[in-house]
Structure 1
Amino acid sequence: MTTQTFDVESFIRLRKQTRAVSDMLRQQASDYLSTLSLLINPQRVFGEFLQGAPRGSTRESQHAFKEFKTLYEQIAMTAPFGLINELEVPLDLMNTRPVLYPYEYDRRVEGLRQPVRILNPARWVVGFEGFELARFRRLMRDPNRSNAELHRFVVHYLMLFFCINRTAGLGRLLLGLRFPIGFERVREFGDLPLCVLGSPLKSRLPSDDMIRNSTEIAGNNAFEELVDESAIESIEDELKLRLQRVVASL
């Protein structure tokens, strides 16, 4: 990667620009997610298998619970979780309001002993309110963690994945809104699929020299990917491109 001169003033401007753009995108994404939250409400899928839901389960809700139980046993009862907690009926979900949490990952940077925690300003992990991804990570690293709390986190993240994955058309709808949704697996969470919401903007990492200089000045091991004006100008209109391909194929 090309070495870049660390221009403090330019870097500060890029950081401010990145933060302003990220805040706007996050607000837009949160608005869409809030509007669509009824489509991924677990009560709609599981009925009386959830605590507080009205009685009268259907064949669909029975089948959904059976599938979810199998999924839970495949993921929660294996490494790295190793939970022995059985699913109790009705399921007790503390909160089912989807919210956005920071999308972060670790990166090794030449010259630094510890990996740098990188924040992506244009992507987010979707989770239920009150189940912060950062807290989930701390639980995974805590040798004295509460298995009951870990169980709650695993159930809530699995439940979100299950409900979103079963909602036909949601992915196409969000893609049409320019906020594509997908699932990713992160090594520290094993086979647990995390729901990730993207945006029409792509951020970038500068050179390792710039990352190293920034973290040394700030005195921490965190860095945020950057957004410049060229990234905004390069945003493509997906609908326009699809229409052009249709016309070109005739």
Structure 2
Amino acid sequence: MTQAFDVEALIKLRLQTRAISDVLRAQAADYLSTLTPLLRPQALFGEYLQGAPRGSGRETQHHFRELKELYDRVASASPFQLVSELEVPLSLVSTTPELFPVEYDIVLAQSGQTVRITSPTRWVVGFNSFDLAGFRKVVRDPNRSSAELYRFVVHYLVLFQCLSKAAGLSRLLEGLRFPVTYERLKDFGDLPFCVINSPLTASLPDESVIRNSTQIAGTSSFEELVGRDNILGMNDEIRERLLRTIEGL
């Protein structure tokens, strides 16, 4: 988006963005809820999970070993710097997945102002009771509780392992046009997050619009925008795939 927005146009586009985002998020959450049985940590980690039956076999040993190697690499490094080892058996407070908006920072070229941007069409998958904003707050707190930080790190790593190992689930979500990607986010070091993307792409207006909007609102945050033009410009992956299939026949 390169055109300039007046206040009324920006307000209208924000209203459209929120309405579209609500529909997409509800759809993504419904798909995720339906597919939640495929994310069972007990099936992946067996006896290494608190309350699970013993004697789960070599496969669960392999999965736990991978989780431990990932934890040892991620948790000991900045910004977590945890000295505690991965506890066995794993104690999970929650295993119900929830969606949290993707957030990132940009620096405006002219003013040098840092603005926190929220995506209305992309979401980080986490277990409920372990929201992303709360995780970020704990990471940034100089007086943080190591035990609380440990719980956040473990829950997000367990979810990453469960989702990344469920190849069929990823293919299903991609077929439903809500593909999963695995990304690193600023403030969280090398910890991999699972991100669900919608079939619609949001974008940012010119920096002048962001600057004026944040100054008027008295905040340092802004949301990507999406409207009618974005909907009309959506790609149909199945259509494109079929067209490629018959090319040259």
State whether TM-score is above 0.5: yes
Deviation at 1:113, TM superposition (A): 5.0
Distance in 2 (alpha carbons) for counterparts of 1:222 and 1:129 = 24
Q: Distance in 2 between matches of 1:204 and 1:49?
A: 43
Normalization by structure 1: what TM-score? 0.95
After TM superposition, list the pairs within 5 Å mapping 1:40-59 onto structure 2. 40-59=39-58
Please give the per-residue CA displacement for 1:164-184, whole angstroms capped at 9, x wherever unaligned: 111122222111100010111
8 Å Cα contact 1:111/1:212 also seen in 2: no
CA distance in 2, matches of 1:187, 1:28: 27
The 1-side partners of 2:13 and 2:124 are apart by 24
2:82, 2:30 → 1: CA distance? 35
Shift in Å at residue 50 of structure 1?
A: 0.7
In the other structure, the counterpart of 2:133 is: 134
**Which aligned pairs between 1:54-93 and structure 2 lie closer than 5 A?**
54-93=53-92
Q: Which residue of 2 aligns with 1:235?
A: 234
Cα distance in 1 between the residues matched to 2:39 and 2:203? 31
> Residues of 1 paired with 2:91 and 2:2: CA distance?
53
1:177 to 1:193, Cα distance in 2 relative to 1, 3 A = same
- Deviation of 1:79 (Å): 1.9
- Tell me the residue number matched to 1:96: 95
Moved more, 119-128 or 184-193: 184-193
CA gap 1:204/1:69 in 2 versus in 1, 3 angstroms = same
CA apart distance, 1:110: 3.7
Shift of residue 55, structure 1, vs aligned partner: 3.0
Pair 1:244-2:240 in alignment: no
- Same amino acid, percent of matched pairs: 59
Q: What secondary structure does 2:167 align onto?
A: coil
Q: Could you list the per-position Cα deviations for residues 85-132 of structure 1 after superposition, in whole angstroms to 9, with x for gaps in the alignment?
A: 111211000001111001111111145454111111000111111101
Q: The residue matched to 2:205 in structure 1 has which SS?
A: coil
Cα pair 2:3 2:205 within 8 Å, conserved? no
**Are the structure 2 counterparts of residues 248 and 190 from structure 1 closer, same or farther at C-alpha, using a change threshold of 3 Å?**
same
Structure 1 runs not aligned, ≥5 long = none
Q: Tell me the SS of whatever aligns to 1:119.
A: strand
Which residue does 2:167 correspond to in 1?
A: 168
Give the distance between the partners of 1:9 and 1:168, measured in 2 at CA.
45
Show CA shifts across 1:10-40 (max 9, x none). Answer: 1111010000000000000000011111111
1:121 matched to 2:120? yes
Q: TM-score, normalised by structure 2?
A: 0.96
Give the Å deviation of 1:244: 1.0
Q: In the TM superposition, what are the counterparts of 1:132-211 in structure 2 within 5 Å?
A: 132-211=131-210
Letter in 2 for 1:91: L
User: 1:3 offset after TM fit, Å?
Assistant: 6.8
**Worse-matched range after superposition: 74-83 or 200-209:** 74-83
CA distance in 2, matches of 1:119, 1:186: 13
Q: What is aligned with 2:105?
A: 106
**Structure 1 residues 3 and 21, CA gap change in structure 2 (3 angstroms):** closer
